[in-house]
Structure 1
Amino acid sequence: MTAPGPGTLPTVQFRTGEGTIDLGWGHPHPSALPVDAWAEATEAALRRYGASALAYGHPTGPGPLIEWLCGRLGEVDGAAPDPGQTFVTAGASHALDLIASILCRPGDVVLVDSPTYHLALRVIADHRVDIVPAPVDADGIDPAATAELVRAIVRQGRRVPMLYLVPTFNNPTGRSLSAQRRSALVAAAQRAGVTLVEDDTYRELAYPAPAPASLFSGSEVGAVVRIGSFAKSVAPGLRLGWLNAAAPVVEALAARGYVDSGGGVNHTNALTLAEFAASGAYRRHVEAIRSRYRRQRDALVTAVRRDLPQAGFTVPAGGWFLWLRLPAPGGGTELLPYAEAAGVSYVPGRRFFVADTGHHHLRLSFSLFDPATLAAGVRRLGEAYRVAGMAAGATTPPG
């Protein structure tokens, strides 16, 4: 995770200032990436499948991976999807982009949870739609109010093809919708004719397992599209994920020109992951990273309680993030320059909203750093908070 040297091209996405502890990045800890086990799986896949591992793949993804994945989802979710409802993608963002391309037309209205994954907003916006936050209350998206909003939009002569949300270990809040709210939301969306697009990226990262049953597993076929990823459970560099949808949607994706031309997505890595899973390495790896990330979560929580006691938060039962609320109305936004001057950074809460709101909040990630570094980062953040308080009324933040 080191920065590229002078005169070299970058090799990774991660970027931060020299000496800064950047708690904004939702990236895996380097030691949590299964380098040796993946090398073994790569060799085993090449031995097992030979030249087929390097050939063009099946449009929806290789059978061995889809078969294992459906079985695994049956273990960690409310029900196993059918193989015909499964399409292998190049990660969750790719899955979201694909499903938006199928469901949306320019000028449509897409509803989103609030707050929600900030980069998903960019993916959705690429489809030239208007993004509108769904009504929320203390328990998450309000199904009845959302249904009324859909009716109002439809009365204006506009379409509402989908609603995007992260109902399990939400990014950024870490919270999960209750079972009652899940069933009510599915029912309301079905009546309104809106497809729920469920980002289920963090299902394997439950502390402790199991995670709540997905919207997809508790709905009628076609009501929900579930997207998932191996970026958090294995490694983001694999660029592997999937979506579960009604069979006609999967067939439509498989018929797209670039899929027909290229023969599936990331075929070689997909077969390697199938081998990684068949050997038992996936199960062992997930158990290990659950323990690691739970320790890192606990370290961050302890540090915030000690060094930033002014912040309110709920301890997340899964995922990678801690969502803080500061007392001052603009606290999460206004603190950032002071934090960066102190050698620590984060993502301000306003980034996770469509409207100009969320300024109370900030998101910290506990995934990338060991407990000692997390504690050091929060010490810097606490000091920045004290300096910002002392500097109340200053006209400019630190340079």
Structure 2
Amino acid sequence: MIQFEHRPGILDLGWGHPRPGLLPVQEWAAAGAVAAREFGWRQLTYGSAAGPAPLVEWLSARLRTAAGRTFVTGGASHGLALVASLLAGRDDVILVDSPTYHLAFRILADTGARLMRAPADAAGADPDALTRMLATLRAEGRRVPLLYLVPTFANPTGRSLPLDRRRALVALAQRSGLTLLEDDTYRELGYDGPAPPSLWDLAGGDGVVRLGTFAKTVAPGLRLGWVNAAPPLIARLTALGYVDSGGGVNHAVATTMSCFVASGAYDRHVAVIRAEYRAQRDALVAALRPHLPVTAPGGGWFLWVALPPGLAATRLLARAERRGTSFVPGSRFYVDGAGGADRIRLSFSHLAPADLTEAAARLGAALADSR
């Protein structure tokens, strides 16, 4: 019935899922009742192509985005698939950050384009090296329409791209015609201060398409998100045949969300989960530090951890599972698999602090076995 697969005896640090007890079951039910009373039959009929006005207007105000630049989607992955399908095609080159969200690779590859890793260093995407790479590819006659990246509290690293690089990437996009496809999934989950400005905000919407979602802030099962883009691309999204035929995307859930946010439940819930996920982050970081060098990310759901010299993540994984824990090896976050062999991604989102502490102890035991 659900995607998560519980394995008895395993405290799994591999799943980037919300902690079940933090999902707002009662609050969502209350919003559903309000929406049914407020909208009546209008909630259950075909919706507006771009999404219901109450939610679109709330998103535009919250994100300080002008009218006509928001399209409601069935989640960030759906938005990624739609935008990529419109902007890229067979024999194009799509550049992807390294490392980055691994499940985006298949979505982008569905366009028929070739995926290539963009140049990056420890701080993230490297604008100067990217400029040179883009010039080389275009000199070879290759069309390069997109760069996909998660610049804020990234999956898998938890890091945020420095402000100077954000500005340099935006400038590159605006002078070269490259579109930055900004996955802004974790923006609301900052634990040590506000998130840095989005590429979308820095660009004024020129040269950037932003993907947003309620999956991390409310619940992934809602399958509800949005795209921010310039009006011509929004018009292309709303004109898609299945959108026109179906009356928008996820209309009933979107109308319920409009009541959820209008009641103040969204802001209250985000405040709660920020505190809870901060405590979970801190619990895992503290428990790992006797075993591994760990830096606490400023937001998001993940730790990106370097292993001792000579120890491969795939080798450690087998030992970790025998000890009763698990993780995702770092190589999965590189589109060509050539990187991250000595890194592991650990999620602190899914387990309570006590379980995270125990999982870290089990990982420490697996490290001792490896030595």
Shift of 1:188: 1.4
Instruction: Letter of the 2:350 partner, please give it.
Output: L
Any idea what the Cα deviations from partners look like across 1:321-352, whole Å, max 9, x if unmatched? 01100123452222001111111010000000
Which of 58, 61, 78 is residue 48 of structure 2 equivalent to? 58
Shift of 1:314: 2.4
Which of 207, 232, 239 is residue 248 of structure 1 equivalent to? 232
Which of 286, 290, 293 is residue 312 of structure 1 equivalent to? 293
- The question of 1:267 aligning with 2:251 is answered yes
Which of 297, 304, 315 is residue 334 of structure 1 equivalent to? 315
Shift of 1:382: 0.6
Instruction: Letter of the 2:305 partner, please give it.
Output: L
How far, CA to CA, are the matches of 1:90 and 1:175 in structure 2? 26
Which of 28, 33, 37 is residue 18 of structure 2 equivalent to? 28
Partner of 1:71: 61
Partner of 1:44: 34
Instruction: Letter of the 1:375 partner, please give it.
Output: T
Shift of 1:174: 0.2
Instruction: Letter of the 2:8 partner, please give it.
Output: E
Give yes or no for contact 1:329–1:359 (8 Å, CA) kept in 2. Answer: no
Which of 274, 295, 318 is residue 279 of structure 2 equivalent to? 295
Give yes or no for contact 2:285–2:294 (8 Å, CA) kept in 1. Answer: no
Give yes or no for contact 1:333–1:350 (8 Å, CA) kept in 2. Answer: no
How far, CA to CA, are the matches of 1:277 and 1:338 in structure 2? 45
Partner of 1:221: 205
- The question of 1:160 aligning with 2:150 is answered no
**Structure 1 gaps, min length 5:** 1-10, 74-79, 390-399
Partner of 2:182: 198
**Structure 2 gaps, min length 5:** none
Give yes or no for contact 1:108–1:130 (8 Å, CA) kept in 2. Answer: yes
Shift of 1:313: 3.2
How far, CA to CA, are the matches of 1:337 and 1:328 in structure 2? 18
How far, CA to CA, are the matches of 2:34 and 2:321 in structure 1? 46
Shift of 1:220: 4.0
How far, CA to CA, are the matches of 1:320 and 1:86 in structure 2? 26
- The question of 1:96 aligning with 2:96 is answered no
How far, CA to CA, are the matches of 2:358 and 2:295 in structure 1? 21
Any idea what the Cα deviations from partners look like across 1:119-148, whole Å, max 9, x if unmatched? 011111111111111111222111111011
Give yes or no for contact 2:36–2:43 (8 Å, CA) kept in 1. Answer: yes
Q: Secondary structure at the match of 1:225?
A: strand
How far, CA to CA, are the matches of 2:310 and 2:214 in structure 1? 37
Moved more, 317-326 or 208-217: 208-217
Partner of 1:388: 370
Query: How do residues 358-373 of structure 1 correspond to structure 2 at under 5 angstroms?
Result: 358-373=340-355
- The question of 1:350 aligning with 2:331 is answered yes
Give yes or no for contact 1:349–1:358 (8 Å, CA) kept in 2. Answer: yes
Q: Aligned-residue CA RMSD in angstroms?
A: 1.0
Q: Secondary structure at the match of 2:103?
A: helix
How far, CA to CA, are the matches of 2:67 and 2:10 in structure 1? 45
Instruction: Letter of the 2:62 partner, please give it.
Output: R
How far, CA to CA, are the matches of 2:98 and 2:49 in structure 1? 35
Instruction: Letter of the 1:317 partner, please give it.
Output: G
Shift of 1:156: 1.0
How far, CA to CA, are the matches of 2:271 and 2:67 in structure 1? 25
How far, CA to CA, are the matches of 1:220 and 1:37 in structure 2? 35
Q: Secondary structure at the match of 1:196?
A: strand
Which of 78, 101, 108 is residue 117 of structure 1 equivalent to? 101
Q: Secondary structure at the match of 1:341?
A: helix
How far, CA to CA, are the matches of 2:247 and 2:66 in structure 1? 21
How far, CA to CA, are the matches of 2:305 and 2:3 in structure 1? 25
Give yes or no for contact 1:333–1:361 (8 Å, CA) kept in 2. Answer: no
Q: Secondary structure at the match of 2:289?
A: helix
Any idea what the Cα deviations from partners look like across 1:12-71, whole Å, max 9, x if unmatched? 000132111111000001111000000000000000000000111000000000111122
Q: Secondary structure at the match of 1:24?
A: coil
Instruction: Letter of the 1:86 partner, please give it.
Output: T
Instruction: Letter of the 1:368 partner, please give it.
Output: H
Which of 186, 189, 200 is residue 170 of structure 2 equivalent to? 186
Partner of 1:143: 127
Moved more, 107-116 or 201-210: 201-210
Give yes or no for contact 1:198–1:227 (8 Å, CA) kept in 2. Answer: yes
Q: What TM-score comes out, normalization by structure 2 length?
A: 0.98
How far, CA to CA, are the matches of 1:199 and 1:216 in structure 2? 10
Q: What TM-score comes out, normalization by structure 1 length?
A: 0.91
Q: Secondary structure at the match of 2:309?
A: coil
How far, CA to CA, are the matches of 1:312 and 1:115 in structure 2? 19
Q: Secondary structure at the match of 1:84?
A: coil
